[in-house]
Structure 1
Amino acid sequence: MTGQKIKNMEDFAAVSGISRPTISKYFNDPESVRQSTRKKIEEALEKHNYRPNIYAVNQNRRQTKNIGLVVPNLTDPFFAEIARTIEGLIVEAGFNPLLLSSHGGPDQEIANLDSLRAIKPAGVLLAPLGRASLDKQIAEFTREVPTVLFDANLEDLGEAFFGSDNHQSVGLIVDYLCRSGEPPVFFELKTPINPNAYKRRSAYIAAMERLGHEPQLIQVDGQGWNFEEIGFREGGRVLNSGQLLTNTVLCSNDRIAIGLLSAAFESGIKVGRDDGAALRIAGHDDHPFSRFTCPSLTTVSQDYDAISASSVEAILSMISSGVRIEARKETLFEGKLVMRGSA
């Protein structure tokens, strides 16, 4: 990075030694310029830390009223709920939301972004897959189109990120579980697909050590987004193996916890807070279905409304001003403990 302030495309052309028309051609379609030229432009972008004003890239381009909204999987009620909230805010602001699901696949995630690029949206709100995401392709997209990330963070990509403070929320529920009964084990996938899961694992370990307890991880095999099935299948195996050294289980997310609740019922194990219960189960997220399980699931709620509103506000601000955010910002919102019947 240099100390010189690059204000516009003309300044960038001057410092990079590449003609203004060639740079415009690159930003309209990177594949339309020679590979050697493309490499030179990308090196200059990195060196000068320059992000072009999307509205100055092509003066003939008319701003659309479309805002793209990409989520990992619309079959997950968690993402369906937050997408519904964001769509409402976009419509209220006078724009058209274009909702796309990545169906849990990185190739589909890029295909969604390519489809949006083709219609030249005013901006995009992206909840990325996380570890499975193809970072290089997403980085190319975010250089062209104002993009705000939410839920899962990809470091240094997009103009801003809004999500949950996993360290705070996991610490909150670990405190409660230790205060109200036996310290919990942490039940999770061995190789999670969402970066939030890794943060929750670290937060659990830190909270247990802070309270003077030995962290215990139960890591199970499983792939994809079928968390309830994994919780049921692997949870049943764990419950019947005598592997648990405590009567309290904290699951990495509510969907895994819902599967574990079902496995406990199948095994004839009573779950709850009363004296006759043999097991306590808690989750994270306050999934839309968590209040309707039997017993209802104790969990930590994410602040859906704040995440949604802040994400939409950030993209609308860029659209209205025509100015990209210079310094990427990350905003985390605290969770709230939701005590129900399961723990």
Structure 2
Amino acid sequence: MGQLKIRNMEEFAAVSGISRPTVSKYFNDPESVRASTRKKIESALEKHDYHPNVFAMNQNRRKTKNIGVVVPNLADPFFSEIGRRVELACIEAGYSPILLSSHGSPTMERDNLNSLRSLKPAGVLLAPFGRMSDKDAVQAFGADFPLVLFDANMSDTGQAFVGTNNAQSVDLMVEYLCRSGEPPCFFEMKSPSNPNANKRRQAYLESMERHKQTPNIFQADGEGWNFEEIGSVEGGRLLLEKAFSTNTVLCSNDRLAIGMLSAAYGLDLRVGHGADCHLRIAGHDDHPFSRFTCPPLTTIAQDYNAIANRAVSTLFGLLETEERPSDREETLFEGRLIMRDSA
């Protein structure tokens, strides 16, 4: 006959000879039961190959150990990487992360938050669309659950925000490009999906003014998350028209820059800072692929680890105190210049 199938904790308690409350106590915290009892439970677990339903256990608690993590698009390696680090930080702290992607859709972002409500999360970490988000829905969720935003900020939403200091990071790049060659033009999308883009444009304008240079902004048609295609098509068009007033282009993000690198290759334009090069291209974010482009992309590295760890620790701090802070906390980490061959 096959091995007895254990369907729930009651059946496991019966076959292991341990009371149901003690078994439940073990699954909540193994160190909370006596060593001899713990050994007996673990022996029964191995014998019967039983795995408790963590979500069902959580739903039976007044407070669950579920942590929701919502990002705009997991197909974007930036969000998959930072989402992965947030997820690992939750696991290390003993929580059960539920990682959800909104797949580039603000409507799905709202639906993800509604789905998390049914799981009664202890708290949620959200990288919102920002301008495109349903602000009322996000604020309503934040009124009911501890909510920490990361990457993209939405004013007066959630209890805290953690991200990159775009003013510092863009100024760092502009200073380097002005110092090492012709001052940069700025290339962005006309309708950016992320509020960071607007902050970077403003930072570019202010930095160029500080360096006593004339700013030149070029905006690409298109919206959504097909940044590489937009960078290639629109960037290629501007390169073909010789629209850029200098030989240096700072793209609002690395994915636009990767598209422009492709367009430059197709137009037989050599990118780099050598005497035989036609132009320099730089980006922002240190996209996981940016070191493998041809040539490797000069960019600004965001501190993934610091952002992920601070977002998680901030949320856990809210859970421990069980109090809503009187002031919304904002934490910005500085970017780091990564000099590669493209600029």
TM over 0.5: yes
How much has 1:326 moved relative to structure 2?
2.3
How much has 1:226 moved relative to structure 2?
0.5
How much has 1:193 moved relative to structure 2?
1.5
Pair 1:340 & 2:340 matched: yes
Q: Which residue of the partner structure matches residue 138 of structure 2? A: 138
Q: Which residue of the partner structure matches residue 331 of structure 2? A: 331
Q: Name the aligned partner's letter for residue 297 of structure 2.
A: L
Aligned counterparts of 1:321 and 1:217: Cα–Cα separation in 2: 46
Q: Name the aligned partner's letter for residue 251 of structure 2.
A: C
Aligned counterparts of 2:96 and 2:79: Cα–Cα separation in 1: 19
Q: Which residue of the partner structure matches residue 298 of structure 2? A: 298
Q: Which residue of the partner structure matches residue 286 of structure 2? A: 286
Q: Name the aligned partner's letter for residue 142 of structure 2.
A: T
Aligned counterparts of 1:215 and 1:87: Cα–Cα separation in 2: 40
Q: Which residue of the partner structure matches residue 186 of structure 1? A: 186
Aligned counterparts of 2:294 and 2:86: Cα–Cα separation in 1: 30
Q: Which residue of the partner structure matches residue 236 of structure 2? A: 236
Q: Which residue of the partner structure matches residue 160 of structure 1? A: 160
Q: Which residue of the partner structure matches residue 260 of structure 2? A: 260
Q: Which residue of the partner structure matches residue 118 of structure 2? A: 118
Q: Which residue of the partner structure matches residue 106 of structure 1? A: 106
Q: Which residue of the partner structure matches residue 225 of structure 1? A: 225
Q: Name the aligned partner's letter for residue 215 of structure 2.
A: P
Q: Name the aligned partner's letter for residue 182 of structure 2.
A: E
Superposed CA offset, 1:47-104 (max 9, x none): xxxxxxxxxxxxx961111000000000000000001111110000000000000111
How much has 1:105 moved relative to structure 2?
1.0
Aligned counterparts of 2:127 and 2:94: Cα–Cα separation in 1: 22
Q: Name the aligned partner's letter for residue 261 of structure 1.
A: L
> Per the alignment, in what secondary structure is the counterpart of residue 131 of structure 2?
coil
How much has 1:324 moved relative to structure 2?
2.2
Pair 1:214 & 2:214 matched: yes
Aligned counterparts of 1:341 and 1:199: Cα–Cα separation in 2: 26
How much has 1:200 moved relative to structure 2?
0.2
Q: Which runs of 5+ in 1 are unaligned?
A: 1-59
Runs of 4 or more, structure 1, over 6 Å off, are none
Q: Which residue of the partner structure matches residue 32 of structure 1? A: none
Percentage identity across aligned positions?
Answer: 60
Aligned counterparts of 1:218 and 1:161: Cα–Cα separation in 2: 30
Q: Which residue of the partner structure matches residue 308 of structure 1? A: 308
User: Which runs of structure 2 are paired with 1:30-109 in the superposition (5 Å)?
Assistant: 62-109=62-109
> Per the alignment, in what secondary structure is the counterpart of residue 67 of structure 1?
strand
Aligned counterparts of 1:195 and 1:129: Cα–Cα separation in 2: 8
Q: Give the TM-score normalised by structure 2.
A: 0.82
How much has 1:164 moved relative to structure 2?
0.5
Q: Give the TM-score normalised by structure 1.
A: 0.82
Q: Name the aligned partner's letter for residue 151 of structure 1.
A: D
How much has 1:321 moved relative to structure 2?
2.4
Q: Name the aligned partner's letter for residue 185 of structure 1.
A: C
Aligned counterparts of 1:101 and 1:289: Cα–Cα separation in 2: 20
Aligned counterparts of 1:203 and 1:277: Cα–Cα separation in 2: 27
Q: Which residue of the partner structure matches residue 34 of structure 1? A: none
Aligned counterparts of 1:225 and 1:245: Cα–Cα separation in 2: 27
How much has 1:320 moved relative to structure 2?
2.2
Aligned counterparts of 1:244 and 1:203: Cα–Cα separation in 2: 19
Aligned counterparts of 2:213 and 2:75: Cα–Cα separation in 1: 37
Q: Which residue of the partner structure matches residue 57 of structure 1? A: none
